[in-house]
Amino acid sequence: MTWFAAAGGWRLVAQGAGVGWLRLEATTLGALRTAILHVRQEATLRGGSLVVAESPADLAPPIDAWGDPGDALPLMRRIKERFDPENVLNPGRFVGGI
C-alpha cells in the first residue's frame, strides 16, 4: 500500500463489528483525494463501502461523501419525496444528490 505512504499516512481511530473509523492524512489535497478514492475502491471490491464523514472544504472537486448507492437510489428518492415533498430538508446533501 505505497499510496498510503505517499498520502502521508493513516491511523485507525475506532473499530467495531462491521464498522471502522479511519483517519487519512496527506501532505497535499491531491494525495488525500487519491488515498480516499483508493480506500473506497478497496472497500467496494470487498463488499463494503466508505462514507467520508469529514474532508477539507477546499478539496476540489469535492469527494462524493456517500459513494455509489447502487440500485437503492430509486427507493431512496421515493422515500424522500414521500416524507419531504417540498424538498426543504437538506436538499442535495444526501446520496445521489437527494
Clarify whether residues 52 and 80 are in a common domain.
Answer: no
Structural domain boundaries enclosing 89:
68-98
Q: What b/e sequence results for 45-64 when a residue is b if at least 16 CB atoms lie within 10 Å of its CB, and e otherwise? A: eeeeebebeeeeeeeeeebb
**Do 90 and 43 belong together in one domain?**
no
Q: Residue 63 falls within a domain, yes or no?
A: no
Question: If you search the block for the grid coordinates 472497500, which residue do you land on?
Answer: 43
* pLDDT tens-digit readout, 24-48: 888 889 988 988 998 899 888 988 8
Given a contact cutoff of 8 angstroms between Cβ atoms, the answer to whether 53 and 20 are in contact is no
Q: Which pTM value belongs to this model?
A: 0.72
Q: Is residue 62 part of a domain?
A: no
Q: Do residue 3 and residue 38 come from a single domain?
A: yes
| Span 43-82, pLDDT tens digits | 889 888 899 988 898 888 888 899 888 899 999 999 999 9
Quick check: 80 and 94 in contact, CB under 8 A?
yes
Judgement on whether residues 11 and 51 belong to the same structural domain of the protein? yes
Strands (E), the chain: 10-16, 19-24
* Total domains present in the chain: 2
